[in-house]
Amino acid sequence: MSNKYDFIIVGGGIVGLASAYKLQLKFPNKSIAILEKESEVGKHQTGRNSGVMHSGIYYKPGSHKAKNCNDGHTQLVNFAKENNVKHDVCGKIIVATKKEELSILDDIYIRGIENGTKGISFLTAEEILQKEPFIKGIKAIWVPSAGIIDYVGVCKEFVSQIERLNTNSKFYASCEVKIIDSSKNKTILKTNTGFFEASQVIFCTGLQSDRNAKKDNIKLALKIVGFRGDYFELTPKASYKIKNLVYPVPDPKFPFLGVHFTRMVDGSIECGPNAVFTFKREGYNRISFSLKDTFEALTFFGTWKLFGKHWRKGIDEYKRAFSKRLFVKELQKMMPSLTENDVQPARSGVRAQAIDYYGNMVDDFKIEKQQNNIHVINAPSPAATACLAIADEIIEKV
């Protein structure tokens, strides 16, 4: 006996729930089941990212990231306002601390103009101090549209709205998909709690996206590899040293934005994250290990190609992961007055990064269609900011 629905969303992270919400708005009379393997929403990337609403300044003009970030940011802020979700469009600065970074900073500014990032302007060293009195830089970009938000709060509101729009729609927690059986007219999912059936299924499973695609007989020339990011936070006594969001100039060779300072919606100040290869996709400790995850990552040719290209960077990141002194030293480039006593260990997250056979990090969003099913394979940052815009794109495919 199957639970029959018009649509099923697999994955209770922010992209899956945004898709379910947009689907319910478009088809209010259709029933939707959301299947989440954890006990609640947003337990992985959604609830373990830096909580930032990105402005779209960094991304290649014309890319999915650039278009969806801009549109998604507007939609997300409006949703948060209408539904009293904690957020603050507080702005951020991107700080150059040495001359070699100035050309990269200029390139980011040009991209921001091309992407229509609102209100950006350059700051002098004196103007940086006016915004952030403890930050030392030679030049910066002020990005007024960046902000912070409670992403798990957004997820909970999506579920609440979906169930209010249609009483036949339901969120199923602790429900993990084991087998996918797709035919021409329907898809049957075997889960640990029974069978579910729908005419169309949308998979938004982040760190498990390639595995679910494989279960659905999609041949992928890429692999999801996890990169753990560790956070420190400023102690309550030192939290006055940061007002809002402060980012370094990123290394253009990597999709990561570097260790930064972020004021969270609860008022705490996080510092981080770094980015190190993790031996467990959903492992949030420095010594987390999964034989299956490690074997899959290290038997994929692309992983070794990536390591070969960037081994120096990888070693530096690993050193910082196990050394508070080195982590603080990185932050001191922007805040020279920071001391080891000013920071304490906080949480960590794992980023799902798609890597192709040649060791390239797949930089843009990737969505695949298979018969009745849609798989969101790669949805890196700024997917949380862009979730409602990505949902629109997915629903066009529906």
Whether the CB-CB separation of 169 and 3 falls below 8 Å is answered with no
Q: Residue 255 has what pLDDT?
A: 64
Alpha helix (H) ranges present in 28-144?
Answer: 64-82, 102-114, 125-131
Tell me if the domain spanning 1-86+148-221+362-398 has CATH number 3.50.50.60.
Answer: yes
Orientation of helix 387-397 relative to helix 64-82, angle to 10°: 110
Q: Residue 216 has what pLDDT?
A: 95
Which residue in the block uniquely carries the two structure tokens 């088809």?
A: 27
Nearest Cα neighbor of 274 from 241, 315, 320, 307 is: 320
CA 11, distance to chain mean position in Å, is 14
CA distance 134 to 126: 11
Q: Residue 319 has what pLDDT?
A: 84
Q: Residue 241 has what pLDDT?
A: 98
Amino acid at 33: A
Name the token pair of 169: 């729609």
CA distance 22 to 13: 14
CA distance 242 to 360: 35
Phi, psi of 261 (to 5 degrees): -100, 130
Residue 274 makes CB contacts below 8 A (sequence gap 6+) with: 229, 230, 259, 317, 320, 321, 327
Question: What residue ranges of the chain have pLDDT lower than 50?
Answer: none
Q: Residue 253 has what pLDDT?
A: 75
